[in-house]
Amino acid sequence: MENPKELKYTKEHEWVKVDGDTATVGITDYAQNALTDIVFIELPEIGKKVDKMKTVAVIESVKSVSDIYSPVSGEIIEVNETLNDDPAKVNKDPFGEGWIFKIKITNKDELNNLMPVDEYNKISKEE
Amino acid sequence: MPGQNDSAIQKTPLAEAHEKLKATMVDFAGWWMPVQYTSVIDEHITTRTKAGLFDICHMGEFIVKGSDALNFLQKLMVNDINKLSIGRVIYNLMCYENGAVVDDLMIYKLKENEFMVVGNACNVKKDSDWLNNHKENFNVEIEDISEKTSKLDLQGPKAEEIMKKLTDIDFPARFHFIETNFLGVKTIISWTGYTGEDGFEFYFNKEHTLKIWNSILQAGKEYGIKPIGLGARDTLRIEACYSLYDHEINDKITPIEAGLGWAVKLDKDFIGKEILKKQKEEGTERKLVAFEMQRGIARENYEAYIGEEKIGFVTSGTFSPTFKKSLGMALIKKEYAEEGNKINIKIRDKFYEATIVKRPFYKFNGGK
């Protein structure tokens, strides 16, 4: 699966879609493929304030537990509750229906730390 | 990748074959082993519905022989092998004086005065020391054949049909074995397994490993056989509620606490008998229970609570591919260990409710 051009990325294999002061966050195809069999996602609470690169959600496959970091600081404004019933959506459609949470960005300068697709392609193909 | 640069890590004769299949490899008890090839769920369901082939070459095997071999093993093992006949295999445990477990093992009676003892990969050195340190005046020879012995497991409802394509031997019942020529190789074929399914375990000289592995995979193709990693091996045995060393049993847990009292025979003498007898007669403070959860996944060592009181810990937990829910086993205070009781499992500082249920989750699915 190609990494979409319009998204930004972290080295922790998260993608970020920026729309005004809102960022939608999920994990990349590379990440879902490495995890396989995602069976549980602990979503953050709406209204929770988070700092950049701090744990905000937890994703569990049959054999592993992985932290999801917030790529930017802000406040959680929406979570993908459909993942409670069907966490495998993250495997099937990581860049679409498998989005995980939306965050209201407090400091847009932090977006400069994120990678454009060309840079992320190098990482996701090397590992 | 973890472990890859560690020169001490051991490889089975199939390591290269696993890597060719793009398996995810991990360091397991000092061995470079496949945890999954495609997906734990897919491999698990394949074993439950078709057949799976497992590389278990990391396990430890010992030959114990001599005129005192029986008496020697009887002294070290909690289960009674006095009546074990040649061609039979039995589950057993070795315990410390305090009743906690050195290792759990399978004992094969090869001949009069000759046995094969199979233990866990993580315990090979400890088992070897324990056996050798208790030789005393017994007329017994102990040979560690782990290095030269390979072990493969073929498990699943199609296992027998696949074997019928490869050999014309008679198929006896579970917990029997034969020593035979299999695909031109001297092999012990054992009707045992660790999945809850019918199947076989094979022991043979390691130089033939790739040939036997490939022959079984080839013969099983039409039945949908797949190679299975240690990930699914674990979820399969958890559903069947089979103990795993360093989880349900270890050097701080006794067989009675772990629900293995059926294997502890008090009409003979063995190391640890005194305390195990007392525990069997009077009960234990802790008991192993099986539980299931609506939400969350309990992992090993997560704490169990009732209200504010910590009552024990999770020994194994997983998402169950067969039942599509979260389940596990926990060692908890006996007063709470009743079926139907609700307990709380602490997962990342939040409590998730679990219900104690009957063991096992998955009943042995074999015909005989």
B3 pLDDT more than 50 = no
Q: Exposed, middle or buried: residue B285 (CB in 10 Å: 0-12, 13-18, 19+)?
A: exposed
User: Which pLDDT band, with edges at 50, 70 and 90, does B2 fall under?
Assistant: very low
Residues of chain B with C-beta less than 8 angstroms from the C-beta of A45: none
For residue A16, give the amino acid letter.
V
- pLDDT tens for residues B247-269? 999 999 999 999 999 999 999 99
Which of B40, B326, B348 faces A63 most closely, judged by CB atoms? B40
CB B178 within 8 Å of CB B87:
yes
The answer to whether residue B310 is domain-embedded is yes
At B1 the pLDDT is: 41
As a whole number, mean pLDDT of residues A113-121 equals 96
User: Which pLDDT band, with edges at 50, 70 and 90, does B366 fall under?
Assistant: confident
Whether B176 and B309 share a structural domain: no
Check CB contact under 8 Å for A39 and B234: no
CATH classification of the domain holding B317: 2.40.30.110
The answer to whether residue B342 is domain-embedded is yes
Check CB contact under 8 Å for A63 and B35: yes
Interface with chain A: mutation pick from B319, B349, B352, highest number of A CBs within 10 Å: B319
Model pTM?
A: 0.94
CA A38 to chain B, closest CA, distance in angstroms equals 10
The answer to whether residue B305 is domain-embedded is yes
Whether B169 and B232 share a structural domain: yes
Q: Write the CB contacts of B122 (distance below 8 Å, at least 6 apart in sequence).
A: B29, B30, B245, B246
CA B234 to chain A, closest CA, distance in angstroms equals 9
Check CB contact under 8 Å for B318 and A58: no
The answer to whether residue B142 is domain-embedded is no
- Cβ of residue A46 closer than 8 Å to a chain B Cβ: no
Percent of chain B with pLDDT over 70: 98
User: Which pLDDT band, with edges at 50, 70 and 90, does B171 fall under?
Assistant: confident
- Cβ of residue B45 closer than 8 Å to a chain A Cβ: no
Which of A40, A60, A62 faces B41 most closely, judged by CB atoms? A62
Question: pLDDT averaged over chain B?
Answer: 96
Whether B299 and B162 share a structural domain: no
What does the domain layout of chain A look like in residue ranges? 8-126
Which of B40, B235, B297 faces A40 most closely, judged by CB atoms? B297
As a whole number, mean pLDDT of residues B135-153 equals 97
Check CB contact under 8 Å for B296 and A40: yes
Q: How many CB pairs under 8 A join A and B?
A: 38
A82 pLDDT more than 70 = yes
User: Which pLDDT band, with edges at 50, 70 and 90, does A101 fall under?
Assistant: very high
Q: Residue B217: which of B4, B73, B53, B29 has the closest Cα?
A: B53
CA B126 to chain A, closest CA, distance in angstroms equals 27
Check CB contact under 8 Å for A63 and B231: yes
The answer to whether residue B341 is domain-embedded is yes
- pLDDT tens for residues A53-74? 999 999 999 989 999 999 999 9
B5 pLDDT more than 70 = no
**Spatial distance between the Cα atoms of B214 and B195, rounded to a whole number of angstroms:** 21
At A63 the pLDDT is: 87
User: Which pLDDT band, with edges at 50, 70 and 90, does B172 fall under?
Assistant: confident
- Look at chain B and report how many structural domains it folds into: 2
Nearest Cα residue in chain B from A58: B348
At B368 the pLDDT is: 55
CB A101 within 8 Å of CB A76:
yes
Residues of chain A with C-beta less than 8 angstroms from the C-beta of B298: none
| Residues A12-36: b if buried by 16+ CB within 10 A, e if exposed | ebbbbbbeeeebbbbbbbbbbebbb
Q: What range does the domain containing B307 cover? A: 285-368
Dihedral angle sign, alpha carbons of residues B251, B330, B346, B325: positive
At B343 the pLDDT is: 98
Nearest Cα residue in chain B from A62: B319
Nearest Cα residue in chain A from B352: A42
**Spatial distance between the Cα atoms of B284 and B287, rounded to a whole number of angstroms:** 7
For residue B330, give the amino acid letter.
A
CB B121 within 8 Å of CB B233:
no
Whether B162 and B219 share a structural domain: yes
User: Would you tell me which CATH number, out of the four given (2.40.170.20, 1.10.540.10, 2.60.40.1120, 2.40.50.100), belongs to the domain A8-126?
Assistant: 2.40.50.100
Residue B194, sorted as left (phi over 0), alpha (psi -120 to 50) or beta, turns out to be alpha
Residues of chain B with C-beta less than 8 angstroms from the C-beta of A44: none
Q: Write the CB contacts of B116 (distance below 8 Å, at least 6 apart in sequence).
A: B61, B62, B63, B64, B107, B108, B110, B188, B203
B42 pLDDT more than 80 = yes
At B6 the pLDDT is: 52
A33 pLDDT more than 60 = yes
- Cβ of residue A36 closer than 8 Å to a chain B Cβ: yes
The answer to whether residue B173 is domain-embedded is yes
Q: H/E element holding B71?
A: helix B69-76
As a whole number, mean pLDDT of residues B318-334 equals 97
Check CB contact under 8 Å for B297 and A60: yes
CA B123 to chain A, closest CA, distance in angstroms equals 23
Whether B51 and B187 share a structural domain: yes
- Cβ of residue A5 closer than 8 Å to a chain B Cβ: no
The answer to whether residue B10 is domain-embedded is no
Which one-letter DSSP state was computed for residue B180? Answer: E
Whether B234 and B161 share a structural domain: yes
At B7 the pLDDT is: 60
Check CB contact under 8 Å for B319 and A36: no
- Cβ of residue A40 closer than 8 Å to a chain B Cβ: yes
**Spatial distance between the Cα atoms of B8 and A117, rounded to a whole number of angstroms:** 39
CA B33 to chain A, closest CA, distance in angstroms equals 15
